Amino acid sequence: MRKLRFAVVLPILQVVVTTVLLVWTNRALSVVYPNPWRFPRREAYIATCVIMVNTTLHGINAPALLLKGFARALPTQGLSIWGIGVGDVFYLAGIAVLWYLVGRTLDRRTFPKEPSNFRMTTGRAWFNLLLATWGVLLLVVSFFSLHDLTQATGVNIHTFYLNWNVWAIALAVVWSLILFIFPGLKLARWIRGKRVSTGAAVDPM
């Protein structure tokens, strides 16, 4: 019997949950803004919780959220189905890729196949460089987002933990460090190995 792989389960689960929340949040925003008192208190409370959960999910999926920003440069803005626009499609595609990579990493730890002396190929080195660069970009965007948030809402050190956007940004910072540090360490080992092998090839002894 084949075991269920994280690389299959995680992307499907995350995409389905995020899609449901995106559609639900569009409805919830119409309830909460501009006047939640037009609706029953229970409905307004549920709508507020949905928005908070969706905001937190943005932090959990922060690396994929960058693709939504890139999609804004496309001349297809305004197109949407059930409130899901082109940017959201890019976001969902990024989520699928993100959690496939996370699931594949978990699968490799759970069902190891590679030998202990596995060496990184040039293609993998470029991919790790891409991940590290993505982490730096995400960190920069996170700091700009935090600055804009403090300017717009007046969030300060005493009330920051009450704002769900701050928690989403904090998760994005964690993701940026993960994307930069771990691929960066792999790249450093690869470069060091290249130097050692090059030195051994040059050494006549």
Q: How many domains does the chain have?
A: 2
Kindly state whether residues 26 and 108 are assigned to the same domain: yes
Show the domain range for 69.
Answer: 1-113
Tell me how far apart the alpha carbons of residues 205 and 62 are, in angstroms, rounded to a whole number: 51
Kindly state whether residues 60 and 124 are assigned to the same domain: no
From 57, 80, 113, give the residue that closes a domain: 113
Kindly state whether residues 106 and 131 are assigned to the same domain: no
Kindly indicate the confidence band of residue 1, based on its pLDDT and cuts at 50, 70 and 90: very low
Kindly state whether residues 63 and 86 are assigned to the same domain: yes
29-42 pLDDT, tens digit each: 777 776 666 777 88
Q: Is residue 159 predicted with pLDDT exceeding 60?
A: no
Kindly state whether residues 103 and 16 are assigned to the same domain: yes
Cα 11 to chain center, whole Å? 12
Kindly state whether residues 33 and 106 are assigned to the same domain: yes
202, part of any domain: no
Structure tokens that stand for 92 in this block: 């969902």
This prediction has a pTM of 0.80
> 1 exposed, middle or buried (CB, 10 Å; 0-12, 13-18, 19+)?
exposed
Kindly state whether residues 102 and 175 are assigned to the same domain: no
Tell me the one-letter amino acid at 163.
N
Residue 75 or 129, more confident: 129
Kindly state whether residues 2 and 84 are assigned to the same domain: yes
Tell me how far apart the alpha carbons of residues 46 and 5 are, in angstroms, rounded to a whole number: 34
Kindly state whether residues 17 and 51 are assigned to the same domain: yes
C-alpha closest to that of 70 among 45, 46, 91, 48: 91
